[in-house]
Chain A
Amino acid sequence: MNKLNYRVVIFLFAFLFGVVFSIPSLTQSDEGKKITLGLDLQGGLHMLLSVKSEVAVESKVKSIGTTIKYQLEKEDIIFDDLKIEDNSVRFELLDKDDLPKVTEILKDDFKEINVKQNGLSFTLTLSPQLIEETKKNAINQAVDTIRNRLNMFGLAEPTVAKQGMDKILVEVPGIKTQADEQRIRELIAKAAHLQMMAVDEDRDARVNTMSEAEAKQYGDVILTDVSNPKQKYLLHSIPILDGSMLVDAKVGYDRQNNQPLINFKLNGQGAKIFGDFSGRSVGKRMAVVLDGKVYSAPVIRERIGGGSGQISGNFTPQEAHDVAIALRSGALLAPVQVEEKRSVGPSLGADSIRASMIALIIGFLSVVVFMFIYYGMAGAIANTALIANLFLILAIMSLFEATLTLPGMAGIVLTVGMAVDANVIINERIRELLNAGNSITKSIEQGYNNAFTAIWDANVTTLIAAVVLFAYGTGPIKGFSLTISIGILASMLTAILGTHGIYQWILPKIDKKRLNFWFGIKTKGAK
């Protein structure tokens, strides 16, 4: 045998590298970087959500209404007809003397809002920039909120990421049943919009006969009870305060009937508003409204300080748990909608893994046997390179903690077929040269030389297609182009450099009288 040359050293090193770094993935050990299985293989939920950001704009307008109402009341300014219409807030002053005070408030607290004044009536609208900003904010906030909720739910490694301008990608691996999946979807979609609303005591008696339109005229809204849809309430549409002032929400139990309920706590500002309002409204009712349903509407007996309250409804413990998470992580400023959903049960994922593993093993074995029969030892050398190639693909994917999808598995199987191509080309060239009567050394060196440009150009063209696919593909397809690309690059190292090094290393052993054993050809033998 010759001394070890640099080619074979690099190859052995690459082989070792491949084996060492693919071990964590192969043994599924907890330590070390490893390949993550795609949702199509391990089961899970993949969703592409869009955000109805125009709803965030509407509620922004509503909250401006709430603030202006609060400010005006604080300054004892008398006003009438505070209404929200077509994304603008309108109100009218009754006393001309209040004008300077109102102008002052509007100048100080509502800088980014367009104010139109016509005598004593005011119209507030959002500037286009503010609308844009509100929409963007709603999307970013939805990403954060959904991520928080899924993290708090306690699932392993959910992914929540913004995709493009206005879409959200949610991936939750490891969901076991359809019921679990639905529960997670409910948690994601829950608006968790908590509001304290005052009951319009003057008109509530007529609520059962009142139309929505009539209620709107009074600046009211009709909402139903969560457990009894027949029970209706007439509420002032501008809430006293909302969930944005909430700092904590926890599951608790009612001492009397042991029913689960949710205890919440408000921040300083919220507590003050709550206290002021309850102080002014003793004897009246205040409704706790969650996502447009009235959970309770107790009569206020005294001023409530401290800023804590509770939501009771007919919760199951699971529901209470999820609602508390949703409240803690904050409300969604705008509702989300499904654009794309792919959910795979764990049993299907396992079947897919098994099927593609069988294909990989059979494909691999048939190629290996075929190469050995056709090329003899030259085929065996090519097979060594092929094995090294497989390990390298796994190792590189492990190091990048890449995701292996079903098309990705198909890519690996395909690589097995295509990676030996380089060796087929090289072996054919070597045979040609041997047949022409060249020496073994010359045939090998010249053979590699002749084969190189063909292999190079062919691989670069395939790589171009794979890279484009990676850039434009989504989800599973990315996995396919990734394994193909890594396979091509690794084959350059193993099939060209590696096998060349092996030949140079074992050159003295190659018996020119046994070309059939070494290269699978019957020839009269070299000179």
Chain B
Amino acid sequence: MEVFKYNQPIVGFMANAKKFGILSITLVVFSLVLLMTKGLNYGIDFAGGTVIQVKYKGDAPIQQVRDILNKNGSYKGANVTYFGSNSEIAIRTKSTSKDVSVDVSDQMNKLLKGTGEYEIRSVDMVGPAVGDELRNQGLMAMLLSIIGILAYISFRFEWRFALASVMALIHDVTISLGALALFQIDINLPILAAILTILGYSLNDTVIVFDRIREGIRTIKSAELSEVIDESVTRTLSRTTLTSLTTFFVVLTLYLFGGELLKGFSFTLLVGVVVGTYSSIFVASPILMWLKFSIAEFRAKEAEKLKREKEREKMRAMYEQGTM
């Protein structure tokens, strides 16, 4: 089966770069506004607090549980929601306890007695100090991986490629965070992992497009960067679409069948895969153009490198002959 033919006409991506630029900037600005107004909904992993997951035999008496908790001073304002199904609820509260032998779950257990036959399926409690630590670690991880990737791409390509890919990356992460803010999804550790995966995935895509552009600079005769980019991106179009599709499919199955605990995680990835694919084609390459990447310069450098290598080889050959 072929969706993209080998003689696929070259798409004029760069001619429309401005339009996509405007779309991207709008999305990023919209996300930033969302992040500032609605803000991220930090889950207990980062904000501290307790989440208790309770499963009832039959439907959960959610209203009764709310009433009981509201009557109790220390759990007033606890948030009780259905979790995945009508028989399961999640109780979220800001309170934590330091006592090892009697904790929030034991107290909750006492309060819930008489609400029906239930089982406490999980208790997550994170003290405020730990929450801060986890958040710092998360930010640190994000920063370090961006630095590491920047360094690697600069080394393999050129600094403009690195800068363009990191800008595409920031674009992807900002929009994904914007989506998380829009839907007020609990930010927990798995979501941090999802964001870092988006980081890796988006780069993966961008690097493959860039690799083709690097190759195109050598093989395509045109000295016009936009033409080289257009042709290279067109050549990778089929790969980009296919890989994005398989990844998207897999993440979608995770979202649909992976259970309630992985919902936020796979949602973040879904957004990330879409945005990451879009950005590798429509964001990263135009930035390369706007950074005034010069084909002539790059070719000269490559030629220089080749010359040096040839010379070295010649020297080696001479040396080997000399010793023989």
Chain A positions within 8 Å of B, measured between CB atoms, are 40, 47-49, 178, 182, 185-186, 188-190, 336-345, 347-348, 351-352, 355-356, 358-359, 362-363, 366-367, 370-371, 373-375, 406-407, 410, 413-414, 416-418, 420-421, 424-425, 428, 431-432, 435-436, 450, 453-454, 457-466, 468-469, 471-477, 480-481, 484, 520-523
- Distance between Cα atoms of A339 and B50 in the complex (Å): 11
Closest-by-CB residue of A relative to B106 is: A182
**Chain A CB within 8 A of B259 CB:** yes
Which of A188, A374, A435 is B1 in contact with, Cβ under 8 Å? A374
Closest-by-CB residue of B relative to A342 is: B124
Q: How many A-B residue pairs have CB under 8 A?
A: 258
Is A469 touching B2 in the complex (CB atoms < 8 A)?
no
Is B247 touching A352 in the complex (CB atoms < 8 A)?
no
Closest 4 CB pairs of A and B: A355-B259, A189-B100, A417-B250, A435-B6
| Min distance, Cβ A53 to any Cβ of chain B, angstroms | 15
Closest-by-CB residue of A relative to B97 is: A338
Is B215 touching A450 in the complex (CB atoms < 8 A)?
yes
Kindly list 16 other residue pairs between chains A and B, CB separation below 8 angstroms, not including A457-B156, A465-B199. Answer: A178-B105, A185-B101, A340-B130, A342-B125, A352-B259, A359-B262, A363-B249, A373-B1, A413-B258, A417-B243, A417-B246, A417-B248, A417-B249, A424-B239, A469-B193, A523-B6
Stretch at the interface among B15-23, B63-71, B138-146, B315-323: B138-146
Which of A338, A476, A523 is B189 in contact with, Cβ under 8 Å? A476
Stretch at the interface among B72-80, B179-187, B200-208, B284-292: B200-208
Is A431 touching B208 in the complex (CB atoms < 8 A)?
no
**Chain A CB within 8 A of B251 CB:** yes
Closest-by-CB residue of B relative to A364 is: B250
Stretch at the interface among B33-41, B147-155, B222-230, B300-308: B147-155
Is A468 touching B189 in the complex (CB atoms < 8 A)?
no
**Chain A CB within 8 A of B176 CB:** no
How many residues on chain B are close to A (CB under 8 Å)?
A: 80
Chain B hits for A344, CB < 8 A: 121-122
Chain B positions within 8 Å of A, measured between CB atoms, are 1-2, 6-7, 53, 55, 96-103, 105-106, 109, 119-127, 129-130, 134, 137-138, 140-141, 144-145, 148-149, 152-153, 156, 189-190, 192-193, 196-197, 199-201, 203-205, 207-208, 211-212, 215, 235, 238-239, 242-243, 245-251, 253-254, 256-259, 261-262, 265-266, 269
- Distance between Cα atoms of A444 and B199 in the complex (Å): 32
- Distance between Cα atoms of A358 and B250 in the complex (Å): 11
Interface of A is mostly: helix
Is A356 touching B148 in the complex (CB atoms < 8 A)?
no
Closest-by-CB residue of A relative to B258 is: A359
